[in-house]
Chains A and B, each alone.
Chain A
Amino acid sequence: MYVAVKGGERAIENAHAWLAEERRGNGDVAELSLAQIREQLSLAVNRVMAEGSLYDPDLAALAIKQARGDLIEAIFLIRAYRTTLPRFGATKPVDTGAMDCDRRISATFKDAPGGQVLGPTFDYTHRLLDFKLAAEGGESLEAPKAAPRHQPTPHITEFLAGEDIIQREPESEAAPGDLTRQPMSFPAGRDIRLQSLTRGDEGFLLGLAYSTQRGYARNHAFVGELRIGTVAVEMEIPELGFAIEIGEVELTECETVNQFKGSKTEPPQFTRGYGLVFGQTERKAISMALVDRALRWRELGEDDLGAAAQDEEFVLSHSDNIQATGFLEHIKLPHYVDFQSELELVRKLRREAGADATREAAE
Chain B
Amino acid sequence: MTQDYNFAYLDEQTKRMIRRAILKGLAVPGYQVPFASREMPMPYGWGTGGVQVSAATLTPEDTFKVIDQGSDDTTNAVSIRKFFEKTAGVAVTEETEKASVIQTRHRIPEAALREDQILVYQVPIPEPLRFLEPRETETRKMHSLQEYGLMHVKLYEDISQHGAIATAYAYPVRVSDRYVMDPSPIPKFDNPKLEMAAIQLFGAGREQRIYAVPPYTKVVSLDFEDYPFEPTKADHACDLCGAEDSYLDEVILDDAGNRMFVCSDTDYCRSRREAGHVGRLGEEAA
Contacts and interface: CB of A to CB of B under 8 A. Distances in A.
Interface stretch (A135-143, A256-264, A340-348): A340-348
B120 interface: no
Nearest to B46: A330
Nearest to A311: B135
B115 interface: no
B232 A4 contact: no
Contacts of B106: 335, 337-338
Given A2-B260, A180-B36, A345-B232, A8 B46 contact: no
Contact of A84 (B3, B75, B233): B3
B232 A186 contact: no
A349 B163 contact: yes
A5 B44 contact: no
A110 to B, nearest CB: 45
A11 B168 contact: no
A323 B206 contact: yes
B232 A2 contact: no
B253 interface: yes
A83 B6 CA distance: 13
A3 B73 CA distance: 13
Given A1-B281, A4-B262, A326-B44, A337 B78 contact: no
A107 to B, nearest CB: 36
A6 interface: yes
A76 B68 CA distance: 24
Nearest to A73: B43
B183 to A, nearest CB: 12
B250 interface: yes
Nearest to A343: B250
Given A83-B38, A334-B69, A345 B168 contact: yes
B79 interface: yes
Contact of B35 (A11, A82, A183): A183
Contacts of A131: none
B242 interface: no
Contacts of A340: 187, 234, 247-250, 264
Contacts of A348: 164, 232
A270 B36 CA distance: 37
A247 interface: no
B169 interface: yes
Interface in A309-350: 313, 317, 322-323, 325-330, 333-338, 340-345, 348-349
B118 to A, nearest CB: 21
Nearest to B82: A9
A330 B204 CA distance: 13
A9 B68 contact: no
Contacts of B1: 59, 62
A315 B264 CA distance: 39
B234 A344 contact: yes
Contact of A12 (B9, B35, B78): B78
A277 B105 CA distance: 38
A331 to B, nearest CB: 8
B192 interface: no
B96 interface: no
A276 to B, nearest CB: 22
Interface in A1-43: 1-9, 11-12
Contact of A341 (B39, B187, B253): B187
A5 B73 contact: yes
A337 B250 contact: no
A80 B168 contact: no
B44 A337 contact: no
A322 B46 CA distance: 12
A206 interface: no
B45 A2 contact: no
A156 to B, nearest CB: 37
Interface in B121-144: 124, 135-137
A8 B75 contact: yes
B40 A1 contact: no
A329 B45 CA distance: 8
Contact of B39 (A7, A82, A335, A336): A82
Interface centre among B45, B74, B124, B208 (most CB of A within 10 A): B45
Contact of A76 (B43, B124, B168, B269): B43
A15 to B, nearest CB: 9
A344 B76 CA distance: 25
B284 A1 contact: yes
Contacts of B269: 4
A350 to B, nearest CB: 10
B17 to A, nearest CB: 9
Interface centre among A3, A80, A325 (most CB of B within 10 A): A80
A334 B233 contact: no
A77 B69 CA distance: 28
Given A83-B39, A330-B45, A337 B124 contact: no
Contacts of B105: 333
12 contacts: A1-B284, A2-B281, A5-B73, A83-B40, A84-B9, A327-B206, A330-B44, A337-B185, A337-B187, A344-B234, A352-B164, A353-B163
Given A333-B68, A341-B168, 16 more contacts: A2-B240, A4-B71, A76-B39, A76-B43, A183-B208, A184-B34, A313-B137, A326-B46, A327-B206, A334-B68, A334-B76, A335-B69, A337-B106, A340-B264, A341-B232, A349-B164
